[in-house]
Structure formats: structure tokens, C-alpha cells
């Protein structure tokens, strides 16, 4: 489904991703773990072609099509969804209006207003969200956890094929993390072909959404891949063993 080969990405002349590779097949759950500043959010944004980043070389293929030069809306329409690490606030546009517009533009056959409202109401109930939230400006004044739930609400309505969750667990309390995870798991049950890329620091979310593959990302590319056990190893041992002695020295210098 998603194939990234030899991806090199820069921002402000600084190399962020260097020879990054990943292959995600239909129905697979992948997790990427890595320390702060290693390029995880960069990766998620570059997949959606965020113009702030410069792709120096490499290919991003989705269902056999090179999407590297497509605009973000076209990539989203192909079925890639990104739940942002820090969802932005959009004053003056309600979540309901936004979703209705996107769904109307996306669906080949228009779903009726009644069906749309029912679908959104059910999704909100599943996510234990307050019903009035969709009539407020997108994320305006929402708590961190409410913003994250609002991302998953959009996922449920837009029905993507590839879901990228960039630290969806940060800012969620334990109960909300469970609710959000359960919604992702039930989505995957209903959409057999859908795949997920979970970016996280903590194995806890992976207890709920069991990954088929776990990757450790350091310094802009994947250093080790494995199964769920790798996430537990990372939690126990941290990332130091992956760093070269040179990078540990430079970390020390940075801290001093
Ligand atoms: N606009 C920017 N200008 C300069 N550096 C940036 C910019 N955006 C991100 N970076 C740098 O890119 C690196 C990777 O960031 P990011 O992808 O957010 O890491 P992660 O999500 O793994 O914590 C960091 O060192 C960050 O400071
Ligand atoms: Mg990040």
C-alpha cells in the first residue's frame, strides 16, 4: 500500500530524513518509536506533501502510484489520513461544516444530510464527545485530549485507507486513550484493508492497537525493526544503545 524508498528530506538546509525506507501492506499496523527530534512528524507531514519540507530524493508510492508531487488535498482524497501531533485551531469553521464539505467533495454519490448527521452523531457517541463540539470552531478552545478525539472523529467520517497517528496518545488521559484506541481497533475491524502507522513514545497505546511491526527511528531513518517485543525493549532500555558513540558525545555537548 505505502512504499517509501530512499527518502531524503531537508528543512532550512538541515538534513532531517536520510535514506528513510518503509513498506506498509494492506491491513498492517506499523509503529514507529524514536526520540524527540528524530524526524517522525517530518515523515508524517512529508507523506502528505507539506511544502515546508524539501524532498531531495526518494519516492513515496501509494497503491502503486507515485504521490510525491501530488498536492495535499489530492493525497488525502486517495485515502491517506494524518492525525496531527498538535492539531491546529481553525477559527470560524465548525467541525460539522468542515466534515460536510469534505464528505460532499469526496463521495461519488452524495450521502444525504440525514445519513451524514446520523454518522457524525454515532461517531461522537463512540468517542464519548460532547454533542455540541462539532458546532464549535475546529479545535478552538478544546483541551489537548478533545483535540485528539476530534482528529479520530474526522478519521471515522472520512474513512481513509491509510491512517497515520502522530503521537495521538500525547495529551490523552488513560480513559480517553482507551476510547480512542478502541475506536481505531473497531475501525480496522470494519475496514479489513485499512493500514495504520502509529508514531508514539510509549508502548501503552500498542497494548490496545497491536502492531504487526515496530520500527525504531533514530537520526532520520529506521535503525531496527521487529514485533511488539521491540517496543517493550525500547521502554526498558531507551534509545542510547542505538546511538553511535559520536552522537552520544554530540548529545552531551548539546546538554552542556
Ligand atoms: N521549521 C523548522 N526549521 C528548522 N528545523 C526544524 C523545523 N521543523 C522541524 N525542524 C527540526 O527537524 C527535526 C525533526 O523534527 P520532528 O520531525 O518534529 O521530530 P519528532 O517528531 O521525531 O520529534 C528537529 O530537530 C526539529 O527541530
Ligand atoms: Mg513529532
The dihedrals phi and psi of 82, each to the nearest 5 degrees, come to: -115, 120
Hey, whose CA ends up nearest to atom 25 of ligand 1?
37
> To the nearest whole percent, how much of the chain has pLDDT over 70?
94
Is 22 in contact with 4 (CB distance < 8 Å)? yes
Residue 9 is predicted with a pLDDT of 97
Residue-wise pLDDT for 154-207, tens only, equals: 999 999 999 999 999 998 999 999 999 999 999 999 999 999 999 998 899 999
Nearest to 44 by CA among 129, 100, 34, 183: 34
* 16 ligand 1 Cβ < 6 A: yes
> Across residues 123-144, what is the average pLDDT?
95
> Across residues 120-148, what is the average pLDDT?
95
CATH architecture of 2-90+160-255: 3-Layer(aba) Sandwich (3.40)
Hey, whose CA ends up nearest to atom 18 of ligand 1?
41
Residue 251 has pLDDT above 70, yes or no: no
Q: Which ligand is nearest to the CA of 33?
A: 1
Task: Give the length of the chain.
Answer: 256
Task: Say how many Å lie between the CA of residue 66 and the centre of ligand 2.
Answer: 25
- How far does the chain reach from its first CA to its final CA, in angstroms? 44
What pTM value is reported for the model? 0.92
Tell me the residues surrounding ligand 2 (ion) with CB < 5 Å. Answer: 40-41, 85
Residue 153 has pLDDT above 50, yes or no: yes
Delimit the domains of the chain by residue range: 2-90+160-255
DSSP for 150-191 reads HHHHHHHHH--SEEEEESTTTT--HHHHHHHHHHHHHHHHH-
Amino acid at each position: 500500500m505505502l512504499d517509501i524508498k530512499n527518502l531524503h528530506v531537508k528543512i532550512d538546509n538541515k538534513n532531517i530524513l536520510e535514506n528513510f525506507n518503509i513498506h506498509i501492506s494492506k491491513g498492517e499496523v506499523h509503529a514507529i518509536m524514536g526520540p524527540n527530534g528524530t524526524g517522525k512528524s517530518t515523515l508524517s507531514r512529508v507523506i502528505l506533501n507539506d511544502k515546508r519540507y524539501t524532498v531531495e530524493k526518494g519516492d513515496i508510492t501509494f497503491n502503486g502510484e507515485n504521490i510525491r508531487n501530488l498536492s495535499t488535498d489530492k493525497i488525502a482524497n486517495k485515502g491517506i489520513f494524518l492525525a496531527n501531533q498538535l492539531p491546529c485551531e481553525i477559527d470560524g469553521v465548525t467541525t460539522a461544516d468542515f466534515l460536510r464539505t469534505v464528505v460532499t467533495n469526496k463521495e461519488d454519490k452524495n450521502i444525504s444530510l440525514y445519513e451524514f448527521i446520523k454518522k457524525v452523531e454515532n461517531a461522537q457517541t463512540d468517542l464519548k464527545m460532547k454533542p455540541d463540539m462539532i458546532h464549535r470552531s475546529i479545535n478552538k478552545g478544546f483541551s489537548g485530549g478533545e483535540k485528539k478525539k476530534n482528529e479520530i472523529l474526522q478519521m471515522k467520517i472520512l474513512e481513509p485507507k491509510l491512517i497515520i497517528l502522530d503521537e495521538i496518545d500525547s495529551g490523552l488521559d488513560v480513559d480517553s486513550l482507551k476510547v480512542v484506541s478502541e475506536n481505531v481497533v473497531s475501525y480496522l475491524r470494519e475496514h479489513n484493508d485499512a493500514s495504520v502507522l502509529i508514531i508514539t513514545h510509549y508502548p501503552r497505546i500498542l497494548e490496545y492497537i497491536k502492531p504487526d511491526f515496530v520500527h525504531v527511528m533514530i537520526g532520520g531513518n529506521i535503525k531496527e525493526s521487529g514485533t511488539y517485543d521491540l517496543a517493550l525493549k525500547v521502554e526498558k532500555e531507551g534509545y542510547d544503545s542505538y546511538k553511535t558513540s559520536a552522537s552520544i558525545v554530540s548529545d552531551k555537548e548539546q546538554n552542556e
